[in-house]
Structure 1
Amino acid sequence: MPKISQKGINMPESPIRKLVPYAEKAKSKGHHVYHLNIGQPDIKTPQGALQAVKDANFEVLEYSHSAGFESYRKKLATYYQGHHLNVDFSDIIITTGGSEALMFALGSTLDPDDEIIIPEPFYANYNGFSISNGVKIVPVMSSIDNGFALPSISEFEKLITPKTKAILICNPGNPTGYLYSEQEMQQLTDLVVKHDLFLIADEVYREFAYDGFKHISVMSIPALANHAIMVDSVSKRYSMCGARIGCIVSKNKELMTAAMKFAQARLSPPTFAQIASEAALDTPESYFDEVITEYRERRDVFIKALQEIDGVQVTAPHGSFYCVAKFPVKNADDFAKWLLEDYDLNGETVMIAPAAGFYSTPGVGLDEARMAYVLKKEDLLRSAQILKEALKVYQGIEK
């Protein structure tokens, strides 16, 4: 029998999706499952985006330009300029989701066995993207004790070798919700300029900043003109996860020429989704005001309820719509499975994402879980209540 690749063997399971069979089994028993495991917003997609697809009239559904519709890239550049980012449409390549943008970024900046430094915990698919490109992740640890703030720059410097080519951040963070300060972004800027590295910033949650905190984009820092690569997506901004449209943005022309080769190899991004995404840019600012207000209220309700559970440690994030909580259990993966297989509170249970899958360091984050506060406030309160009661039972079993 032919053997699969070592790369295929090493490809990690998604901590977000690997428990789906357990959730399906729970539902087959008639249980209602509250999905805290995945960042699927329940906010309605802007009607204009949906209507644009309905109104599209084609006799032939053709390829688009490999970089995406020029009209969309120009409109997107105008959007960025409105947020004080010096971006021209020629600095943008439209991709099939933020995931493909990350793949293009890694493929254009790192060769097999090169190293990329990433603060952990980090978005779980960074592991998979790196394995796909033969790249080695070098993690630098952040801590729940300070809300997963940027680790000391001295810790980064200790890890830089001749094989180090880039630093990757998610800002605001997935899974932590941490929003990097202006001072932290300046520290990273000084570091990558000093060591002549790329700074890849996954900014797909850039609109979701709370409590007066401001998102600082890598594209707003002049010193990073040749170092910065921004990854963006419509998935969360417009509640359009199924569109699978993102982009890679950089002022570095050599980098974008390389990325364009990857774009040409996959031919073009999807036409209907580009139509929807271009139309979504007409969404009024009031849409975001309402969405951010709603998520901030959800965060406040959920975090307060979690903090009232004995033994749970969690801080209020200032961005995105995720939090990482430390639970009074030995293994959050076992706890997550148990919640779905063996526990319900009046026919209801919850699904969480064990956080060990968001680390690359073995044995770290075993008692942590990521949760997304993308449900209605009453559902979040109910989820916290279920977790509170479930922990009382589980701790007795675990002992």
Structure 2
Amino acid sequence: MFNEEFHLEQPIRWGMVGGGRGSQIGYIHRNSALRDRLFTLCAGAFDVNEERGREFGVNWGVAPERCYPDYKTMFAEEAKRPDGIQAVSIATPNFTHYEILKAALEAGLHAICEKPLCFTTEQAEELVSLAKKQNRIVGVTYGYTGAQMVHQARRMIQEGVLGEIRIINMQFAHGYHSSAVEANDPGTKWRVTPEKAGPSYVLGDVGTHALFLAETMVPNLKIEKLMCARQSFVKSRAPLEDNAFVLIQYDNGAVGNLWASCVNAGSTHQQKIRVVGEKASIEWWDEHPNQLIFEEQGRPVQILDRGQGYLYQDDEAITCDRMGGGHAEGLFESWANLYRRFATAMDRVIHGESSNVVMDDIWFPNIRDGAEGVRFIENCVRSSDQDSVWVNYT
């Protein structure tokens, strides 16, 4: 059961870039970071509109003088304070992530960043090297991977319950953008604009979530090559795709497929991961995050529930139930579980440990995972742009 008495000697002094008034993702960051008393929101550059950002911050309880017009000013001014921020969350559009994260690391800050970290593998490797040089933790908000049943699946696979892994089916295919909603929605408009979204829309926006869920469940499999086909069914979105199919070949001979879409009309989410082994299969659906379907050949289907005694009990990622079994937990709990891990890792570095970018005994979505997401998109675009040929994963 979740230990609500866990605490740090001092909560981590924390700031935000973006995520101000009306930002759904900003609300999720704050709700998750502050839930367990491990972070204190001390400062922010919440909005490109300075007055609106300051008003928002003050309403949230941030001192007016620590509500800044931009991230550069915030990093510079906070560095002068004995009580300046130690970490920052970056909740801004894609095209800003690289420069803000780089500046945060150069300022000696730990960071939590939305994906993608940047647009190119070269930039991603630069950020990884900088995080290592600065001995700083960078968490990436693959927010669904804090769900306990994802880690139950991971353990079952590690323990060989499924046998050798043969097939991985991944999908994140919603229908909210099945028409040109961007005409009246600025939040969608930048996502379908190459200069602001990068070289991909749905693969980067939702596809990498499904990919990382699979990588979390089956971390030992590595992609050898892939083939990608992208479509722009709403023609004005071209060259960015609103639908994509990816075929994957792994290094052990297993195969995978990924369907990423925002034009799956009628669907609300449809993020599902199914891992097929030689003896059994498991499936997790983010709309029902408290359950894991387990199908063993020749036996009745089992639905495993969060919070039950038959799950692995020696794994904190599985037993960190904030409510007893039978009560529904969801996205906020999953994100809070990740922020708890981010805080624990950051606190250890603050107290003198070396991060080496990742920590072997604390699992969390880290900067190397974020870099791998960038690499995946780059390879998908390369395949698609060559008329959907198989390409070696580089």
Q: Shared fold (TM-score greater than 0.5)? A: no
Query: Normalized against structure 2, the TM-score is what?
Result: 0.32
Higher strand share goes to which structure?
2
